[in-house]
Structures are given as C-alpha cells and as structure tokens.
Structure 1
Amino acid sequence: MNHIAASRTMQADDHQWRLILPLFSLVVIAILLIFRHTFLGMAGIWARSDTYAHGFVVLPITLWLIWRKRSEVARLTPRPSYSAWLLLAGVGFSWLLGDLAAVNSLTQFAAVGMLVLAVPAVLGWPVARALAFSLLFLFFSVPLGDFAMPKLMDWTAAMTIFGLRLTGIPVHAEGLRFVIPSGSWSVVEACSGVRYLIASITVGTLFAYLTYHSLKRRILFVLASIIVPVIANWLRAYMIVMIGHLSSNRLAVGVDHVVYGWLFFGLVMMAMFWVGGRWREDHLPRPVKRDPEVPAGGAASVPLLLIGAAATVMIAATGPLISGHLDDRHSSPLSQIAALATIPGWQPAEQATANWQPSYAGANAQMHTAYEKEGRVAGLFIGYYRQQDNRRKLVTSTNGLVRSNDQLWVMTASGARGIGFDNQDLKVRWAQLRGSSHARLTVWQWYWIDGRWTASDSLAKAYMALARLMGKGDDSAVVILYAAHEQGVEAQAILEEFAAAAAAPIGNALRQTAESR
C-alpha cells in the first residue's frame, strides 16, 4: 500500500511540474518584458565595460546550477506562496523609487529580485530554498562596484607610496598623483583594482559553494576572495611602478602595464584556489527528503497555480505602470538657466581660472561665470538637469570636480564644512585642486533639488524620488563655488562672503528655471 501511495504521489507531482514549468516560463518572460529597459541597460554595461563583462556568463551558470538540483526539486510539490507576493510588492516599490531617482543599481537589483521572487511566488518556498544559492548567484549579474572605486584608488595610492618609501625611493605625493626620481605616476580608475575584486568575489563564491559543504568554510573562502585581491592590487601597483623605475620607464608604462596586471592577478587567483582546494569537502550532505510543509495531498489545484502566476505578473507590472503615469516627458525642453539677479557688492568678471571646468556631463543647461569685488574673484558653476534617465543624470559616480585621468587638474584634499546659505545651515563639500601651472583652487559643491539644498548624494536621490512621486518632476542642479588661492586673501573667506551675497539670486534663478516646466 505504501508503495502504491508513493507511486501516486510521484505521478501527481509529475503532473504538477508538467503544468507549472511552462506557466513559470511565461511568468519569467513577462517579467523580462516588463523590465526590459532595466535588463537591456544591464546588458549594455556588460558589453561596454570590462569590469562587468562577467554578467554575460552569470545566467548560464545560474541555469547550470539549477539543473544540478533538478532531482531534488522534482521531489517537491509546487504551490504558490502568498507571503512571496508581499515581498514581490516591496521589491517592486524599491524598483519604483530607484526609477524615480535614477538609481541604476537599485532598479537593477530590484528587477533581478523580481525574477528570484517569482520562484517562491509561483512554485513555493520549498522550491526556493532548494535553489537558494542558484537564485542568489543571479545577483552577480548586477553591475555594482563603482561606488567602491574612489576608496580603492585612495588605498592603492597610499600603499604604493608607502611601499616606495619603504624601499628608499623618495616620493612627492599630491592626492592620487606622485612623483619619484624617474618620473611621475597617477592612480586612475583602472588602477583601483575594482575589476579584480568583482571577478574574485564572483568566482570565489561559486568555488566556495561547489567545493565546500560547511557554511564556515564557505564564508572563510568568500572573505579571502575579498581580502586577497585588494592586497594583491596594492602589490601589483607597487611592482609596476618599480618595474618602470628600474627599467628607466622602458617597461610597464604602456600596454604591458595592463598585461602585467592581469598576469599577476591570474597567478594570485590560481594560488588562492590551489590553497582553498586543499580543504575541499568531497563528501556529499545527506539527501533532502520531501518537504514536510507540503504533503502529497496538499498539491495546488490548477486554478490556484494560474492565480499564482497571474498575481505575480500583475504585482511585477505595478511599478512600471506607476512610473509611466509619473513620467515627466511632457516638461518643456530646457536650453538655459534663468539669469541671475544682481549680486550685492559683486560685479561680473572673467572666470577665476580659464582652464578648469567641473566634470558634470549631460546637463540640460550650464552656467559658468565669475564675479569680482575689490580685486577678489569668485567663480560660479551651475549644472541643471531635467528629464533624467539612466544615461544622463545629476548624481552619478562619473560626475565630479575632477576626473581621475585629468592631465591638468588633481584633487589634493577634500572634506565637508558647514556654511550659512539661503537663510539655513548647510553642510557643503569642499576640495582643494591643483592645476598643471601650479594654480590652486578651493571649491565648494552641493545640490539643489525641488527647493532643497544638500551635499549628500543619498539625500539628493531621496529628494528627487519624493519630488517625482508628488508630480513635481526631477528638476535638480549642482551648485559649485570656487576661488583661486593667489588673491592675497584666504580662498575660504572669499567663498564665504560670495555665498552670503549670492544665496538669494542663485536660489531665485533655480526656482524660476524649475517653473519653466
């Protein structure tokens, strides 16, 4: 009798899977179509960036990992989960916020999360638990890591300079640039090691899952996959500078610079995997029995499976539908910022420096001018953005005061300070820049979003999402003040005086520009 009951259970399960797999495939296709712009944006980044090219192989690896689990999953009974629908709605709201604030990483994580949560939403949590690693591995397809680049560059520069000085080579350093007796060097994005780090974490996590069965060993190897490439990148940068120095700059200064870097990284990874393989766990864990939460008699009916699939698609589509309703494409095109009113005590003048321009790409309109008072000159730059999207937006890692590969200007110091502006206390970012002709600037920077001032990237994104949710559009701007040091007066004092006088005219000009929508 038990044998007959088990046989009937297996037949029922087979029938369930024959029905649910085509249905689930349609759900996945629907989600891909609903978030097609997000997924196509991810693929575009994979295609143009070597750092994220691994995204092309994440999906095939995920499918292979799922295939390895097919026998275990086949013993489970598919059944839609109501709790997963709630999580799906939360992730959908996160996508909406990311879309409104033009936060690529948030929309991409949420879109991938929709695919992942479709499994418990349509097939149930027991199936999702059985495929947990396979599904979570899919998140490695999200091109995330640029946020760590500035800090990794700072660390690489500091450790390279430390190593050079430790070996007796004199170094004069300013920011990410340094000079040694044989020549000058600079740490740029390619030197940050972020691509090594991302590749190491992705491959290391997969290796840990396939090689070990204990959670402790898996965690330890993933930690090693994070720490080892960071330290290896410091050694790589130091070795390249030393090769260039000892060869009188005949080696490691051109294409071979990149070749040496990848060769060294490859050797380090091989060594890490060889060491990790010495503690591999070849014994298999005990096979998983049928999940007790879903007994054979509790198989979902056909109508329930259809309802589960339909509800999943409808919930997933809610965010894009709301976003389309709030779309700001009806706004008037913008070609210029409203003119500034007279700034009390200050007169228009030539720019404080002729060859510096903040790196804010994609602005709908820009204003770059300068004002003079009693021989003191303050520069003003405003970059105004409207109808932002994933390729053209205000707050992004590619926008800033100076590009790391700028041959004329370098940032030598930075921080934050409080000022009084537009009748409120405001904390702004400040930086010191040095030019090729030894010109020096002190720069203040902050944002304006829907009448609010902030220097925080996170708050700027939040204010932008709130403004769009309220139907006010995404008009926003970056405001930058700067003054040269060679004026006989401290640059900070010049900026304080100019900011106090220019606050009202700047605020009024931005509000008038926004009203032109």
Structure 2
Amino acid sequence: MAAVLSFISVVAAWIMLYWDSFPPLLRRWNTDDYSYCWLVVPLALYVAWQRKDLLPKVITPSSGSGYLVLLLGGVFFFLGKAAAVDALVFISMWLTIVALVLFVYGWRSMKAFFFPLLVLAFAVPPPPFINRTLTFKLRLISSDISVRIMQLIDIPVFREGNVIDLGVIQLHVVDACSGLRYVFPTILLGILMGYWFNSRTWQRILVILSTVPTAIFANALRITIVGYLARYVSVETAESFFHDASGIVIYLLSIIVLATWSLLLNLFGGRKPEQRADSRPGYYGVPTGRALHVFLMAAVLGIYFAGNMYLLTGRVIPQRTSFESFPMETGDYTGKKQFYGDDILESLGSDDYLSGVFRDKRSGRDILVLVTYYDYQEPQRAAHNPVSCMLGGGGWSLSSSRDLPANPQNGRPFKVRRLLLDKPGQRLLAFYWFQQRGRVITNEYMNKVYLAVDSITQQRTDGALIRVELLLNEDESVEHGQQILESFIKNFSTRLKPYIPE
C-alpha cells in the first residue's frame, strides 16, 4: 500500500511541476520536424518490456545516485525557466524519470533500463537554433551531391547556395522541404535497428554512424529525381513530387538502406548470443526504503514547484514607453510603420514591437527595422538569434557572420553582430544586438546566461532584440553598406532609451 501511495504522489507532483511545459512540448511534437516524438514513448516502453529479463535477481534502490540526478533535474528546470530555454525544461523531465528509475530499481538495473532511457531521450526536441544550424549545413551538402549526380547523368544544372537552377525550374532547398527533417528520426531508427538486428557493439556503432550520411544521400537522391522529372517528364510533376510524396518515399528508402547495412554487418561479424544477467525473472519485491525515497522525491518536486511559483509571483516588470509613440523621423531618415497579423505576432511572442522601413531622404535607400520587446521572457516567448529565422525561408544563405566592435567615433558605443546573407541576384546586410536590462549583447549564449542570472538576482527578464537590414546594390561593397547602417544606428539607437528600460 505504501508503494502505491508513494508512486501516485510522485506522478501527481511530476505532472504539477511540468504542467505548463506540456503544451509547448506537444506543440513541438505536432510539427512536421518532430512528429516522430509521438512514437518515442511507446517504443521506449516496448524496449523496456523486452529487456525485463535483464533485471537482476535482487533489486537494490540507489538513493544517493537518485537524489543526485533529481538535483540535476532541478538545476536544468530552473535554468530552463530562468533562461527561457524550454529544451532545458524538457531535459529536466527526462532526468526526473531517470531519478525515479534509480529510486525504484537502482544502478544494478541500468543494464536493463539504459537503452529504453536512451530511446526516451529522443522525445526531447532539440532547441530550434540547433536544428536550424544543423539542417542548414546538411542541406548545402545534399544540394551539392545532387548537383554532381545530375551533372553525371547529363542534366544541365547550376547551384548557388541552397538554390538549384534547372533552367525550367528553380528549387529552393529550404528547411521546410529539405527532406533533412528526417535526420533525428533516422538516427533513432539506426539506434533501434542496431539494437534489434545486431548484437556486437562495433556493428551497432557503425549502423548509428551511417544514419546521417544516409539522410544526406537520400535527400540528394530526392533532388536528383526532381531534376530528372523536370527535365524529361514535366515541371508540374517535379514540383508535386518535390513538395508532396518525396519525403515519405525517401524516408522509406532510408529504412531499406539502414536495414540492408545492418544485415550485411551480421554477415561479416556474425551474431553472438546476448549475455543475460540471470535467466530467471527479476525479483519485484519491495526492498526496504524504496517507497520512502519515492515519496521524498515527490516532496522535492513539490519544492521545485513552490520555488518556480515564487519566481513567477515576484517578477518585476519595469515601466516603459510603448512603441506606439516612437517617432518615425530620425536624422535624414523618414519611416513608415508596418503591422503584423495575429499569426506572426503569436510566433514572435513579444509584448511590444516596432517594425518599419526607414528611407534616406537623400539617397532613397531603405533600411528595414524590427525591434521586439518582452516584458518578461520565458520558454516560447523570448528574444533569440535571428539567424535561424532569416535562414528559415526565402532562399537566403549565410555568407558571413562576425562581431563589429564598438565604434564611439561614429556614434555607436556598443558592439553589434554583422550578418551577410545572399541568394541569386541579391545580398542582404544586417546588424543585430540584444539590448537587455542595461546590457548590449551579441552572443545568444551569453544572453541566456545573463537572463538566468538577472532572473534570480533581480527577478527581471525584460529585454529586446534589435535588427536593422539593408539590401545591397549589385556592385555595392559590404563596407559601403556598413557605413550606411552605421549612420542610421547613430540616431536610431539613442531614441530607443525610453522604450527599452536600462
């Protein structure tokens, strides 16, 4: 009876602690990139059931290790909440489950539970900027491979960045249709195939290492098929295949390739019988203290919940002026505000914003401005590196990214991050910086660190992200475009002070 009550209490405390984190997690699972996560939990439970005979005859809880992992889970939870990184909160969810396993079954049972817990870790979607950066680099590789294959079979093709020009059709290999959204499920598939089909460690490692090259090659083949259809069938057929059926077809091809590779490895290395800890069923008795430790875990989760509520209720939101009153005349520039629809505003998650185009009265050059301000930042509504958004569509590729040191002589006493993006026939020069609680930061990771520190020490997480962008003329140098943005920022940045609290 005590074991049942303690288990019910820890499940209730776990749900209460992460209740507000379930909606963002499920929203991520409902996207095309992470829809595979719905299968992860049933797979982990199935694998755990398969390995139940690996449990030792006598189960001894590991309370010390359990409390250590539980403490680590709390650290990740509060860091995720304070730094507005929901991926850390999701990792905390996984760590608390690991802690529960240690309290109930102990380290000696990890031979049975290690692999199911590894599979369960794939239910945690990686941070969007990691996924964007990874897929951006991989899609360039797959685009290059596909172009080489098409040239090999005499299909005229030209590639610039992530744009493939077939003459009759241009393919913009962006994240949403790159086919590389299958990278993470392919890695999971490789882990499962290595476990089910191979018994030797080196075979399993080779299967896992082959997953990313398989995803890249499969996507390259997909683009090649599109090129062939556009050249020898019709543009309409190529476009339909490119955006509709190709993803499923290519993922099925990845499954066939990995399964074949796994079986071939068995031919070379053979299979060995898996060593079992004990051929008899595991002992499922009630070791002394197990129910007590599980109940204490529920109490610790309750303390985490209370601590989070304290941080939320003590949150400080400073007074400021709304961007509605921001003057659209600054120096030699006159601006026109732009307003977003509800869908874009929801994706931004900001409490206030300034979007507009400022035109130089003398030269007629336009500068695009976007400032997003947050009264408080939390997972799913925080200022983040704009690179992931700028590379997310429109066919842009990142040509260069570097910090520009402060330039007080030109009226910019703070550093900015300079981005140069390009696509066929166009180049975009952009500056951005995080302006938060009196600091100007260009590094997203340091911004998260300061966000966590200020959340704890000042109970403030307000701040803004500022972006200014300029389309470069055909023969214009980057240095000349930089001078134009410097001249604009000189007056614009000083006018931001009433709108972004120090």
Residue 120 of structure 1, CA deviation:
0.9
Residue 88 of structure 1, CA deviation:
1.6
Equivalent residue number for residue 79 of structure 2: 97
| Distance of 2:459 and 2:494 partners within structure 1 | 17
| Distance of 1:229 and 1:494 partners within structure 2 | 39
Alpha-carbon distance change, 429 to 163 in structure 1, aligned in 2, over 3 angstroms: farther
Equivalent residue number for residue 305 of structure 1: 290
Alpha-carbon distance change, 93 to 51 in structure 1, aligned in 2, over 3 angstroms: same
Residues 78 and 299, structure 1, Cα contact 8 Å, conserved in 2: no
User: Would you say 1:27 and 2:10 are equivalent positions?
Assistant: yes
User: Would you say 1:365 and 2:348 are equivalent positions?
Assistant: no
The structure with the larger Rg is 1
| Distance of 1:194 and 1:22 partners within structure 2 | 46
Residue 421 of structure 1, CA deviation:
4.6
Equivalent residue number for residue 181 of structure 2: 195
Equivalent residue number for residue 51 of structure 2: 69
Q: Percent identity?
A: 19
| Distance of 2:309 and 2:260 partners within structure 1 | 51
| Distance of 2:186 and 2:228 partners within structure 1 | 25
Equivalent residue number for residue 262 of structure 1: 248
Residue 330 of structure 1, CA deviation:
6.2
| Distance of 1:416 and 1:171 partners within structure 2 | 32
Give 1:262-411 correspondences, 5 Å limit: 262-280=248-266, 283-289=272-278, 300-301=287-288, 304-327=289-312, 331=317, 335-336=322-323, 339=326, 346-350=331-335, 361-363=348-350, 364-370=352-358, 372=360, 374-375=362-363, 377=365, 379=367, 380-395=369-384, 400-401=389-390, 403-404=392-393, 406=394, 410-411=396-397
Alpha-carbon distance change, 279 to 465 in structure 1, aligned in 2, over 3 angstroms: same
Residue 248 of structure 1, CA deviation:
3.2
User: Would you say 1:443 and 2:426 are equivalent positions?
Assistant: no
Alpha-carbon distance change, 341 to 418 in structure 1, aligned in 2, over 3 angstroms: same
Which piece of structure 1 moves more, 216-225 or 304-313?
304-313
| Distance of 2:382 and 2:154 partners within structure 1 | 46
Equivalent residue number for residue 474 of structure 1: 461
Question: In structure 1, the residue corresponding to 2:360 is in which secondary structure?
Answer: strand
Cα RMSD after superposing both structures: 3.8
| Distance of 2:8 and 2:323 partners within structure 1 | 49
Alpha-carbon distance change, 350 to 31 in structure 1, aligned in 2, over 3 angstroms: closer
The match for 2:117 among 129, 132, 135 is 135
| Distance of 2:50 and 2:156 partners within structure 1 | 56
| Distance of 2:385 and 2:93 partners within structure 1 | 20
Residue 139 of structure 1, CA deviation:
0.7
Question: In structure 1, the residue corresponding to 2:164 is in which secondary structure?
Answer: strand
Residues 204 and 222, structure 1, Cα contact 8 Å, conserved in 2: yes
| Distance of 2:66 and 2:339 partners within structure 1 | 58
Alpha-carbon distance change, 153 to 393 in structure 1, aligned in 2, over 3 angstroms: farther
Residues 28 and 115, structure 1, Cα contact 8 Å, conserved in 2: no
Unaligned runs of 5+ in 2: none
Give 1:415-494 correspondences, 5 Å limit: 415-421=401-407, 426=415, 428-433=417-422, 440-486=427-473, 490=477, 492-494=479-481
Q: What is the letter of the counterpart of residue 70 of structure 1?
A: K
State the Cα deviation string for residues 107-155 of structure 1 (Å, max 9, x = none): 1122112112221134322223431111221111112262422222332
| Distance of 2:275 and 2:218 partners within structure 1 | 38
Which piece of structure 1 moves more, 391-400 or 96-105?
391-400
Q: What is the letter of the counterpart of residue 349 of structure 1?
A: T
Residues 155 and 231, structure 2, Cα contact 8 Å, conserved in 1: no
Question: In structure 2, the residue corresponding to 1:78 is in which secondary structure?
Answer: coil
Question: In structure 2, the residue corresponding to 1:65 is in which secondary structure?
Answer: helix
Q: How many residues align?
A: 481
| Distance of 1:72 and 1:385 partners within structure 2 | 51
Residues 348 and 370, structure 1, Cα contact 8 Å, conserved in 2: yes
| Distance of 1:19 and 1:270 partners within structure 2 | 49
Residues 232 and 268, structure 1, Cα contact 8 Å, conserved in 2: yes
Alpha-carbon distance change, 82 to 412 in structure 1, aligned in 2, over 3 angstroms: closer
Q: What is the letter of the counterpart of residue 448 of structure 2?
A: K
Equivalent residue number for residue 170 of structure 2: 184
| Distance of 2:48 and 2:256 partners within structure 1 | 26
TM-score by length of 2: 0.82
Residues 152 and 192, structure 1, Cα contact 8 Å, conserved in 2: no
Alpha-carbon distance change, 81 to 339 in structure 1, aligned in 2, over 3 angstroms: same
Structure of higher RCO (CA pairs closer than 8 Å, 6+ residues apart): 2
Alpha-carbon distance change, 39 to 112 in structure 1, aligned in 2, over 3 angstroms: farther
Q: What is the letter of the counterpart of residue 38 of structure 1?
A: S
Equivalent residue number for residue 114 of structure 1: 96
Q: What is the letter of the counterpart of residue 258 of structure 2?
A: M
Residues 386 and 474, structure 1, Cα contact 8 Å, conserved in 2: yes
| Distance of 2:273 and 2:391 partners within structure 1 | 54
User: Would you say 1:45 and 2:32 are equivalent positions?
Assistant: no
Alpha-carbon distance change, 488 to 266 in structure 1, aligned in 2, over 3 angstroms: closer
Q: What is the letter of the counterpart of residue 31 of structure 1?
A: W
The match for 1:249 among 226, 229, 235 is 235
